[in-house]
Amino acid sequence: MSVIPLTVFLSLGLVFVFVVLFWREQRRNRFASPERDSLLPLVEETPRLARRSSPAEPAVPTP
């Protein structure tokens, strides 16, 4: 058996599986998943001076 058609076949199969799973995940991404939710506290934020003259004042470097 030629190896190239087999590789292409399996690769396309993997791509198909990936696309299906990705599409499925995209469809349910409005819902939660424990793995995703557990990462919520780790979101990084940027500090901004509380008493600033203009709202456009830039963020300050973190310590």
Partner 1 sequence: MLTPGQKTTIEFNDRVVRQFMLASLAWGVVGMLVGVFIATQLNFWQANFGTASLTFGRLRPLHTNAVIFAFVGNMMFAGIYHSTQRLVKARLASDFLSSLHFWGWQLIILAAAITLPLGLTRGKEYAELIWPINTAVAFLWVVFAVNFFWTLARRNEKSLYVAIWFYIATIITVAMLYIVNHLSIPTSLLHSYPVFGGVQDGLVQWWYGHNAVAFFLTTPILGIMYYYLPKAAERPVYSYRLSVIHFWSLVFVYIWAGPHHLLNTALPNWLQLLGMTFSLMLWAPSWGGMLNGLLTLRGAWDKLRTDPVIKFFVAGVTFYGMATFEGPLLSIKSVNALAHYTDWIIGHVHAGALGWNGFMAAGMFYWMAPRLWNKPLHSIGLANLHFWVGMTGILLYVAAMWASGITQGLMLNDTAEAGTILKYPNFLDTLNAIRPLMLLRVVGGTLYVTGFGIMGYNIWRTVRGATAVNGTLEVYVEKPAPGEVLGARATVFNAPVVFTVLGVALACVWLFSSGWVNILGFITLVLCVLLAIAHFESRGKAWGDWYDRLLINALPFTVLVFLAVATGGLIQIVPMLTIDRRLQTEDRVATVYTPLELAGRDLYVREGCYNCHSQMIRTLVPDVMRYGDYSRLGDSIWDHPYQWGSRRTGPDLARVGGKYNHAWHFDHMLNPRQISVGSNMPVYPWLFSGPTDYAALPAKIRVQKILGVPFPNWSPALIDTLAKEQAKEIAKDLQAQGRSIAPDKEIVALIAYLQSLGKKWEPSQAPMAGGQ
CA distances from 48 to 8, 11, 20, 42 (A): 52, 48, 42, 19
> Is residue 42 a contact residue for partner 1 (CB under 8 A)?
yes
Q: 2, 5, 34, 53: which one contacts partner 1 (CB under 8 A)?
A: 34
> Is residue 63 a contact residue for partner 1 (CB under 8 A)?
yes
Q: How far is the CB of 8 from partner 1 (least distance, A)?
A: 33
Q: Of 40, 37, 56, nearest to 48 (Cα)?
A: 56
> Is residue 58 a contact residue for partner 1 (CB under 8 A)?
no
Count the neighbouring beta carbons within 10 Å of the beta carbon of residue 5: 9
Q: Which residues bind partner 1 (CB under 8 A)?
A: 28, 30-43, 45-51, 59-60, 62-63
